[in-house]
Amino acid sequence: MIISELNGGLGNQLFQFAIARNLSIKLNIPFKLDASIYNNNKVRQYNLDVFGCKNSLADNTDISFFFPNRAKGIARIIQTLKKTYYRPILIEEQNFKFNSDVLGYTNNNIYLKGYWQSEKYFSDIRSTLLDDLKITMPLRKSNEVLFEKMQSKKSVALHIRRGDYVSNKTIANYHGICSLDYYYNAIKYIAQSNEEIVIYVFSDDIDWVKANLKTKHTICYVEKNMNYEDLRLMRSCKHNIIANSSFSWWGAWLNQSSDKVVIAPKNWFINTSINTIDLLPETWIKI
């Protein structure tokens, strides 16, 4: 069995699902998701139940097979003996650089711990993931008109991430936020080939965007949605301008527009020495 530990918001969970899905296919063994970190979590929650894929969540017995100390009493002894016999392996991500060795393991019992933020871990099953990650929740009536308009060749999904990137000092000092100049340059790049673009703005601080983002192009602010609704609308636009956010990364990656342009920030973190060369697909434009 493969178990992938979930951690973070919807975007991170999608990365952690995707690598497990790929390994599961390659090894022809089932996989489960360890969502235990969200037990009694008031900030984050498990988000993958809105998709068409059939996910199995690992229970404590599954998890304690890899970590016997999580079991109690006689169960801990049994799990310790099983671990000694079956020798399951823990694959823990060391950095953001793609590690091809991860996809080469043949052990039937693997626990994945990391963020796995590179399409190289799953790009070979893109068609499978596009099918898996179709949102089954019905489109809200307030979004139906937006959805239809976004099918236009002129639509651009633009995501501005603020939230804890601004309010939490530790997170702010690590991630940073994309500047307004980044967004203006991204808009300019896309508008070169289509002056009549319509920009659909997604943000966790839409009031700030309304007050600060100024452009001659038509803007539509997408508001009061659940995260999966925003994701569905992002992937429905013709083009994407993403933030340094795994959430809008997936909005762009799931976009099936045949000639889409995706603009991404070349600096994903404040610390530019962090190797993120594998984080952004080669076809995306880095600004």
Residue 172, pLDDT score: 87
Q: Are residues 162 and 258 in the same domain?
A: yes
Determine which helix (DSSP H) or strand (DSSP E) holds 252, and give its type and residue range: helix 246-253
Residue 40, pLDDT score: 87
Q: Are residues 110 and 205 in the same domain?
A: no
Q: Are residues 122 and 186 in the same domain?
A: no
Residue 81, pLDDT score: 83
* 3-state DSSP assignment of residue 146: helix
* Rounded CA separation 254/234 (Å): 9
Q: Are residues 78 and 153 in the same domain?
A: no
Q: Are residues 181 and 90 in the same domain?
A: no
Q: How many CA atoms lie within 13 A of 127 on its CB side?
A: 0
Of the three residues 132, 158, 180, the one that is the final residue of a domain is: 132
Is-contact 34 6, C-beta < 8 A?
A: yes
Q: Are residues 35 and 70 in the same domain?
A: yes
Residue 153, pLDDT score: 82
For residue 203, give the nearest of 166, 170, 173, 257 by alpha carbon. 166
Domain range spanning residue 41?
Answer: 2-132
b or e along 216-253 (b: 16 or more beta carbons within 10 Å of the residue's beta carbon)?
ebebeebeebeebbbbbbbbbbbbbbbbbbbbbbbbbb
Q: Are residues 145 and 48 in the same domain?
A: no
Q: Are residues 79 and 107 in the same domain?
A: yes
CATH classification of the domain holding 231: 3.40.50.11350
Q: Are residues 72 and 101 in the same domain?
A: yes
Q: Are residues 17 and 119 in the same domain?
A: yes
* Rounded CA separation 116/125 (Å): 15
Non-local CB neighbours of 156 within 8 Å, separated by 6+ positions: 187, 190, 197, 198, 199, 200, 237, 238, 239, 240, 241
* Rounded CA separation 228/140 (Å): 11
Of the three residues 95, 111, 132, the one that is the final residue of a domain is: 132
Of the three residues 103, 132, 161, the one that is the final residue of a domain is: 132
Q: Are residues 98 and 160 in the same domain?
A: no
Model's pTM, two decimal places? 0.95
Token pair 């940073």 is at which residue? 176
Residue 229, pLDDT score: 96
Residue type, 180: L
pLDDT tens track, the chain, 287 positions: 999 999 999 999 999 999 999 999 999 999 999 999 999 888 899 999 999 887 899 999 999 999 988 888 888 877 888 888 878 999 999 999 999 999 999 999 999 999 999 999 999 999 999 999 999 999 988 899 999 999 888 999 999 999 888 888 888 889 999 999 999 999 999 999 887 999 999 999 999 999 999 999 999 999 999 999 999 999 999 999 999 999 999 999 999 998 999 999 999 999 988 999 999 999 999 99
